[in-house]
């Protein structure tokens, strides 16, 4: 069991950062979900996730295939709906309305990005909050910021699980987030606040950004710029979460953090690949199973109230 070790009043263990193994943790989550899915199937419920992909974005297609593969491993039923690039917004909205009304569907995910003729905000708003596995619906975002979470964005949820699994304290720690996207930065800030961290969000307009990152006990980087954060930008012993997925000039997959440099300074570090990525998909599956479990409980309440 990993615990915090204090050396020179910093969070540090040995000469190299401890790797936060997303593959290993995701496997643990999936094993737990397999049992939950088995229990649901014994009650006549098969968790079902519908993924809608509009167009032929290559990265999106790879991501959808990965989701499908993991779902199969767990026993979750998946339906991939592929629509042409020229799909009209009204067609997509009608499809979502149909899926919202289908009791056999527990989770709905519309893969981003969407073609320019479709308003992503309109699509997000159309998904029923109780089936919003991405956690992007305004109602779910509001519940998160009110510390009453119903559905969590998958990447922040996966990051939080690292802290829980590795027993890394959040209360009272200074967390700095680089990036303010609605997918990672903003919901991550809410999750950290809900766990009593002191949070600073930085972005493209922030002055003295690297001065702020050097103050962070916890540094979460999600801006989509390869090797943006180096060891010189990190507080010794800090927990560094690298959310980035970029291709460098050589075509190699790299994060937003210069791993070899930060590895010499940080206390804990998520690798790329094998860090946040696997946990994002694992949390998507966990959320789908939770929604299926809620459908069973709602059914019981309806029976008891009849």
The residues annotated as belonging to the active site are 67, 111, 134
Residue 179 known to bind ligand: yes
Residue 203 phi/psi, 5-degree rounding, is -160, -170
Find out whether 285 and 71 touch, Cβ atoms under 8 Å.
Answer: yes
- Residue 150 annotated as binding? no
Determine whether the annotation assigns residue 181 to a binding site. yes
Burial 180-217 (b: 16+ CB within 10 A, else e): bbebbbbbbbbbbbbbebebbbbeeebeebeebbbebb
Q: State whether residue 132 is helix, strand or coil.
A: strand
The residues near 44 (Cβ < 8 Å, ≥ 6 apart) are none
Residue 61, judged by CB atoms within 10 A of its CB (0-12, 13-18, 19+), counts as middle
In angstroms, rounded to a whole number, what is the distance separating the alpha carbons of residues 216 and 239? 8
Q: Which of 183, 137, 148, 154 has the alpha carbon at shortest distance from 276?
A: 154
- What residues are designated binding site for NADP(+)? 179-181
């Amino acid at each position: 069991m990993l615990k915090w070790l204090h050396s020179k009043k910093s969070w540090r263990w040995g000469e190299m950062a401890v790797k936060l193994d997303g593959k290993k943790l995701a496997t643990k989550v999936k094993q737990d979900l397999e049992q939950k899915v088995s229990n649901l199937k014994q009650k006549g419920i098969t968790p079902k996730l519908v993924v809608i992909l509009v167009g032929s974005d290559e990265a999106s297609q790879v991501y959808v295939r990965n989701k499908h593969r993991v779902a199969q491993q767990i026993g979750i039923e998946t339906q991939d709906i592929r629509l042409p690039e020229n799909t009209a917004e009204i067609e997509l909205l009608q499809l979502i309305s149909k899926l919202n009304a289908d009791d056999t569907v527990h989770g709905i995910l519309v893969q981003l990005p969407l073609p320019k003729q479709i308003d992503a905000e309109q699509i997000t708003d159309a998904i029923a909050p109780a089936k919003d596995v991405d956690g992007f619906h305004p109602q779910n975002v509001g519940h998160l910021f009110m510390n009453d979470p119903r559905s969590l964005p998958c990447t922040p949820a996966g990051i939080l699980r690292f802290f829980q699994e590795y027993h890394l304290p959040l209360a009272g720690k200074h967390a700095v987030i680089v990036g303010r996207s609605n997918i990672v930065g903003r919901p991550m800030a809410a999750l950290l606040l809900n766990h009593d961290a002191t949070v600073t969000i930085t972005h493209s307009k922030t002055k003295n950004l690297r001065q702020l990152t050097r103050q962070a006990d916890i540094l979460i980087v999600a801006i989509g710029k390869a090797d943006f954060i180096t060891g010189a930008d990190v507080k010794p012993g800090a927990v560094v979460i690298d959310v980035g997925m970029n291709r460098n000039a050589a075509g190699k997959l790299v994060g937003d953090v210069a791993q070899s440099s930060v590895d010499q300074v940080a206390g804990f570090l998520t690798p790329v690949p094998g860090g946040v990525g696997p946990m994002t998909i694992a949390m998507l599956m966990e959320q789908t199973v939770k929604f299926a479990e809620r459908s069973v409980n709602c059914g019981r309440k309806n029976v008891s109230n009849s």
